[in-house]
Amino acid sequence: MKPSQTHRPTVGSLFAGIGGFDLGFERAGFITSWQVEIHDICRSVLADRFPHAKQHKDVRTCLPELTPVDVIVGGFPCQDVSIMGRRAGLNGQRTGLFFNAMHIVASLAPRWLVLENVCGLISSHDGRDLQTVIETLVPMRVCGVLARA
């Protein structure tokens, strides 16, 4: 690296959607290394907005191809904890993808983790789902933020 160049911290995005987290981090000086998003239309938008980021389709299968990053961001699916849903919680097919995401986080060991979900996570299964999320995060020893939408 030339002396005039500085290291730009890297970010990886799980459940990337159309790149809201990614855009914010890039505006703060980060570079998006990779994005994982299952929806084809969203991936098309991501490819247009972030041509430098490697695209991946599924959190259940992408790990071997992901590279370490400084920060992992993501808003894991909320349908199963939303007060508007059936409240299957972390046992639900969609919200349960949280565990696949945390396997990625544990494997790549980023310095920071930023997660987002809906306020229904707090009350899902009388708070036990939020407790599970916290208990899953603690041993990872990443600096984390759990925000609500």
Type of residue numbered 136: T
Q: Report yes or no: 32 and 51 within 8 Å, Cβ to Cβ.
A: no
Given 62, 78, 119, 143, the catalytic residue: 78
Q: Which tokens is 74 given?
A: 């993501």
78 has catalytic annotation: yes
Which residues have C-beta within 8 Å of that of residue 135, sequence separation ≥ 6?
A: none
Which residues have C-beta within 8 Å of that of residue 87, sequence separation ≥ 6?
A: 80, 81, 120, 124, 125
Crossing angle for the helix pair 128-137 and 97-108, to the nearest 10 degrees: 20
As annotated, the active-site residues are 78
